[in-house]
Amino acid sequence: MMGSSRLKLSRFSYHLLLIVVSLIMLYPVFWWLGASLKKNSEMRLPTLWPQTPMWENFTKGWSFSAQYTFGHFFTNTLMMEFWSVIGSVLTSAIVAYGFARLNFRFRGIWFSILIMTMMLPGQVTIIPQYILYHTFGLVNSYIPLILPHFFGGAPFFVFLLVQFIRGIPRELDEAAKIDGASVYSIFARIIFPLLKPSLVTVAIFTFIWSWDNFFGQLLYLSSIDKYTVGLALRMFVDQFDIQWGQLLAMSLISILPSALLFFLAQKHLVEGIQTTGLKG
């Protein structure tokens, strides 16, 4: 009985500690929500929740621009995200399949170079990329933000998928070859469907990283009608009289797509990161 009581007390203490730590970590979110309902004059007050919540901060913030509502900027961002995710998922899977299953000259060397590019800071390639896109007249369009995803995506995604494909038994490939399947058929009908957990991981990370790529959007987009959500939020700060409540309200809405996607697909995300695949 004594051992059972100690075990229950230990579990209670453990869960209590987790609850306290969770509340500490969630405090900024609670403050964020409360501040989005405050007036400018209340921002410096230590209260977490305003006495009179300004729910109109959400409606006014949504239509703060005389020309465009936040729905327009959300549409621009989601369109860019859609093509970025499609490009990363397809091309990363194709490149990973080549490294994991096909035998070609200098495969090991090319794969090592691919892994080395993961250590290359993005700041090193910013100027050459901008000069290249400017030369072809692609600045102030979504192409510089989407096109890189159609050339293998990020090296990390290729590495992730290579590890997953290596866990898929080669006997499946050999059985398909006996039935007359080509390399392309094996990839499309066998390998690609089995990559679902890792592909979901690639899609989630691509969506979040592309959504948060404020610097790239600021660098390549200059027309307001092409602005993304991140650039639209920056417009609040450019105003003479900054409405902090409206800014925080719209920034709160801006994280909902990423948060919703994460919670809906977290099961596949964990499976994809484990990269276990099928064991032969």
Q: Among residues of the chain, what percentage have pLDDT more than 90?
A: 35
Residue 147's pLDDT is what?
93
Amino acid type, 64: F
Output 103 or 5, whichever has higher pLDDT.
103
Quote the mean pLDDT of the chain.
86
Highest mean pLDDT among 54-63, 117-126, 137-146: 137-146
Section 128-136 average pLDDT: 93
Residue type for 164, please?
F
CA–CA distances in Å: residue 232 to residues 60, 77, 228, 229: 14, 11, 6, 5
Q: Is the pLDDT of residue 278 over 50?
A: no
Whole-number pLDDT of residue 280: 41
Please give the pLDDT value at position 180: 85
Residue 214 has a pLDDT of 92
Q: What mean pLDDT is predicted for residues 5-15?
A: 75
Percent of the chain having pLDDT more than 70? 92
The predicted model gives 51-78 an average pLDDT of 88
